Amino acid sequence: MEKWYEYLYYTENSAVNIERIEKVGDITGRETLDYVMRTLAILDMITLREDAKSEGAKSDDYKSEDAVHQGDFGIVRTVLQWSEVAKGGTAKDRAEWIEAGLPLDIHNIASAEIYKNYVDSAVIKNESLRGVIYTLIRTHGMIGQCLRGEVPVTKNSELLELIPVLGKERLRNILYILNECIIAAVSEELWKKVEALSKELIDRILDGDLSEFDEKYRITKLLPNLNDVTEELLKVFAEKYFPKYELWYFEAALSDFSAEQITTILTRLSEQIEAVLTSADEEALGGEYISFKPLADSLYYDYEGRKHINVYKKRIIEKYIRDSSTENVDLSVNIVGGALLVDFKFSKVCEKLIEFCVEAEQCGLLTFEKSITVLYDMFGFRRDEFDRLNNEDKYLKTMNDAEASTKYTILDYVTGKTVVDVGSGGGVLLDKLEERYPDKEIIGTDISTNVIEVLNKKKQTEGHKWNVVMHNFVDTPFGDAENKVDSIIFSSIIHEIFSYTETPEGRFNIETVKLSLKNAYDSLNPGGRIIIRDGVKTAVSDDEILTVTFKDKSGLDFFKNYLADFEGLTDIEDKHIVIDEENLRVSGCINYIREFLYTYTWGQESYSHEVQEQFGYFTIGDFTEYFTELGARIIRAEAFLEPGYPEHLRDKVSLEPDVYPDSNCIVVVEKP
């Protein structure tokens, strides 16, 4: 077994870029070896391609200066074999390398030293050839990293030393082949995208032009999905980092933060680096290599079978960003093998609480979910639980996938130039509005930090024109006297306002609904409309009974939990609840059973949130009466049963009488 292969095969060290994997649990420890084998397979294909080109070309149209020297393939092969060895090695190997002072976190430099120490004159007799391979390993990947913004162009200056040895054209061809292998092994699509740029940069370097890409180029390449590169971020980057530092794993660690947050992180990081370098021993001084890999690795874990950012850590970091005096977390910079390693360090108590939240979230049990709410203040979440922690993504997807028949009929009532979608959630209604009304100004609102972040990423990645802002109609009208809007849509959001808003009288206060609708009405231009699609309360006497028979015991257990946990319908004193354990049957007043049924539809995983919501708060008559008091003209006010509910519950329950109560309503009013 060749030594390079042995180092990569027999290793317990995992050197995976978290950015490039879909699932943390899929990491095997063989990723580096697999990558190297892909580079060698690509080299074999290039060899065949070049051989075919050489043999098939006529002597009069085949330029000799374009030919690849046969020995060049051997050089590239050796470089590829050895360039990643510092990521491997047994525990004993790695301990020896560290003892020898090799900077293992700067893997290209460390790999070059490992190669140099292992390959002596008995293996490769030509000293110049050994020097060529050594230099190519030291600069391994630099072209691609320059294009990605991670490495300054001047880091390639060593390549110029190879021109007297190989000649410029031969070196050019070697670098073309080497970089195709390196980049295409990551992604063939990526290589096609950057092939021309890679060759252009190689040509420029070999012509002696080591001028840097400017700071804006670098920061936009480091953070390609950042919505807005601010002047403040550019200024900090230019003054503190450009072009001095190599910045590895920058995107993997920081892509989930905003420009403002990254600016603060980089500002504080530069202060930490200065303090660390000032206090370090001369021999331990870090160079110009900053690795964010420790932070990237610590920010992610698997949630429901895919990689997911640890939102608990992220929220604590965000709190630190807002206030550097925050306890339990601090920015950390350590010098290891000449590299500056960046991470956030948490107190032991904080780490345990984060671990608890992760376990509770993945368990999904109501008991754990309730325990998490006690910790909301520490993480900076809203105590009213509009933030749903990490399963926000799944909840939003469920909402987006609910292609109910009536969901988008409300778009028919949109009027005017400016449309506000209140509580935009997963953004599906924003997309539908943009598709239907491409010339209108479409604005989404929400009060959840998580939702705002998800929507901004969605806008960036999918290229939408709509905007999203944080706003709460309970607090204020939207805009001001000079900037009113034409249509305001409340799609399945008023019942959440009613259920979660804390007032001196507690939650489930109908005055919050009235206040929100009054503020919305005051936000309209003349002729503007409020459009509502939401739950509806049944207009019957409280003693009208509905009976549910469950088709298995789990349904009855669900109901018992609901009976203990649901705190809504405060206006109904006697709910007439009767439980028949033997026949798996329950009965109660129709509005209570209706609330239960439409919570039961969402299932156990969403229970801890849905049980806190009262879906029906106004009857159709209540809507009509209140809007008439405001002076509005009623365009439509209708209650109906959404067909998805009985379809979903058909296999779970039967009703007596066998008629589902209305679940939803559409209310449209116009300001004269």
CB crowding 197-233: b at 16 or more within 10 Å, else e? ebbebbeebbeeeeeebebeebbebbbeebeebeeeb
Range of 248-252, 460-464, 519-523, 554-558 with top mean pLDDT: 519-523
pLDDT tens, residue by residue, 70-123: 678 999 999 999 999 999 999 999 999 989 888 888 889 999 999 988 875 555
Q: What is the mean pLDDT of the chain?
A: 86
Per-residue confidence (pLDDT) for residue 97, from 0 to 100 = 92
Per-residue confidence (pLDDT) for residue 175, from 0 to 100 = 96
pLDDT tens, residue by residue, 350-375: 898 888 877 776 665 455 555 555 55
Q: Are strands 545-550 and 524-535 parallel, antiparallel or unpaired?
A: unpaired
Torsion, CA 318, CA 323, CA 327, CA 333, rounded to 10? 70
Per-residue confidence (pLDDT) for residue 384, from 0 to 100 = 38
Q: Is the CB of residue 488 less than 8 Å from the CB of residue 531?
A: yes
The answer on pLDDT for 580 being more than 90 is yes
pLDDT tens, residue by residue, 156-180: 999 999 999 999 999 999 999 999 9
Per-residue confidence (pLDDT) for residue 452, from 0 to 100 = 87
- More confident position, 439 or 226: 439
Q: Which helix (H) or strand (E) holds 668?
A: strand 664-670
Across residues 31-36, what is the average pLDDT?
A: 90
Nearest Cα residue to 669 out of 634, 637, 625? 634
pLDDT tens, residue by residue, 588-597: 999 999 999 9
Contacts of 541 by beta carbon, 8 Å cutoff, 6+ apart: none
| pTM for the model | 0.61
Give the pLDDT band of residue 387 (cuts 50, 70, 90): very low
Using CA atoms, how far residue 533 sits from 226, 569, 660, in Å, is 34, 20, 19
The answer on pLDDT for 484 being more than 60 is yes
Angle between helices 70-82 and 127-138 (to 10 degrees): 50
Give the pLDDT band of residue 398 (cuts 50, 70, 90): very low
| Lowest mean pLDDT, pick from 14-18, 70-74, 468-472 | 14-18
Token digits of residue 169 = 């054209």
Planar angle of CA 550, 554, 555, nearest 5 degrees: 35
The answer on pLDDT for 226 being more than 90 is no
DSSP codes joined into one string, 473-525: TTT--SS-TTS-EEEEEEES-HHHHHHH---TT-SS-HHHHHHHHHHHHHTEE
Per-residue confidence (pLDDT) for residue 367, from 0 to 100 = 52
- More confident position, 643 or 412: 412
DSSP codes joined into one string, 391-455: GHHHHHHHHHH---TTTTGGGGG--SSEEEEES-TTSHHHHHHHHH-TTSEEEEEES-HHHHHHH
Across residues 434-456, what is the average pLDDT?
A: 90
Give the pLDDT band of residue 20 (cuts 50, 70, 90): low
Q: Is the CB of residue 279 less than 8 Å from the CB of residue 290?
A: no
Angle between helices 168-184 and 31-56 (to 10 degrees): 130
DSSP code of 330?
E
Give the pLDDT band of residue 60 (cuts 50, 70, 90): very low
Per-residue confidence (pLDDT) for residue 64, from 0 to 100 = 39
Across residues 188-208, what is the average pLDDT?
A: 95
Per-residue confidence (pLDDT) for residue 305, from 0 to 100 = 67
Per-residue confidence (pLDDT) for residue 375, from 0 to 100 = 56
Give the pLDDT band of residue 325 (cuts 50, 70, 90): confident
Give the pLDDT band of residue 553 (cuts 50, 70, 90): very high
Give just the sign of the alpha carbon dihedral 371, 374, 379, 385: positive
Give the pLDDT band of residue 22 (cuts 50, 70, 90): low
Range of 126-130, 191-195, 317-321 with top mean pLDDT: 191-195
